[in-house]
Amino acid sequence: MKILIVEDEPKTGEYLRQGLSEAGFVVDLAPNGTDGLHLALHGDYDLVVLDVMLPGLNGWQVLKSLRGSGLHMPVLFLTARDRVEDRVKGLELGADDYLVKPFSFAELLARVRTILRRGRSGTEATTLRVADLELDLLRRRVTRAGKRIDLTAKEFGLLELLMRRHGEVLPRSLIASQVWDMNFDSDTNVIEVAVRRLRSKIDDGHDVRLIQTVRGMGYVLDDPKEG
């Protein structure tokens, strides 16, 4: 398992590098956001430990660029600021977890192991499956019960996000930033309309409804038989 640490504070960086190496990981350390992004894009990491406050690109910019480049390796944010909006921002941009500094190494290690166990790391599956719904990332093809479903590019992106995080309620703001690359504007019903169209393509004619609206919270794609 290969981990990238992006941390500008030499002492913290070295401490993490050493600790994670001793725990059996292959570890690279980048001292700023620019180098961190470059390594992350090319290094095939299973996880990135990413400081928020960095010279050059900050952690949010690094994460945004990673996700924008189609890389979905898990990211654990390190933040010195225990502000709710900072944490929400990180999670909305697609971080998997965060730790508020100062933290103990044992806590970091526990989080790293939990994230890696979730199995969203390493080699990307090329086909996502939930119940009888299949999304082929390489051929950009979606089928349900073996029947082809034609989707627009946005609908495909939306379905990919819902399937990757199936079972999780995804807020509209997260969908807006990840699929439309826009800030959520409560006046627009773009997402509502897109979800409604997608749901009708996916679920119409099937007994099991996979895409659900969770009132006041967002949307979830789930296999009811799985839970």
Q: Which residues make up the interface to Ca ion (CB under 5 A)?
A: 8, 51, 53
Q: How far is the CB of 29 from Ca ion (least distance, A)?
A: 13
Query: Could you tell me how far CA 3 lies from the centroid of its own chain?
Result: 16
- CB of 6: closest distance to Ca ion in angstroms? 9
Name the residue among 11, 4, 63, 56 with its Cα closest to residue 30.
4
Radius of gyration of the chain (CA): 19
Least CB distance to Ca ion at residue 164 (A): 29
Question: Any idea which residue has 């409804």 for tokens?
Answer: 209
Q: Report the nearest approach of Ca ion to the CB of residue 14 (Å).
A: 14
Question: HSE (CB half, 13 Å, CA atoms) of 88?
Answer: 7
Write down the least CB distance from residue 129 to Ca ion, Å.
40
Nearer Cβ to Ca ion, position 8 or 168?
8
What lies within 8 Å, CB to CB, of 42 at 6+ separation is none
Which of 100, 131 has the CB closer to Ca ion? 100
If the CB atoms of residues 86 and 155 are measured against Ca ion, the closer one turns out to be 86
Looking at beta carbons only, is 103 or 224 nearer to Ca ion? 103
Contacts of 51 (CB under 8 A, 6+ apart): 6, 7, 8, 9, 12, 59, 77, 78, 79
Which position's Cβ is nearest Ca ion? 53
For every residue of 67-114, DSSP letters joined together read HHTT----EEEEES---HHHHHHHHHTT-SEEEESS--HHHHHHHHHH
For Ca ion, the closer of residues 5 and 73 by Cβ is: 5
Please state the closest distance from residue 78 (CB atom) to Ca ion, in A. Answer: 8
Question: Residue 161: phi, psi to the nearest 5?
Answer: -60, -45
Residue 53 or 131 having the CB closest to Ca ion: 53
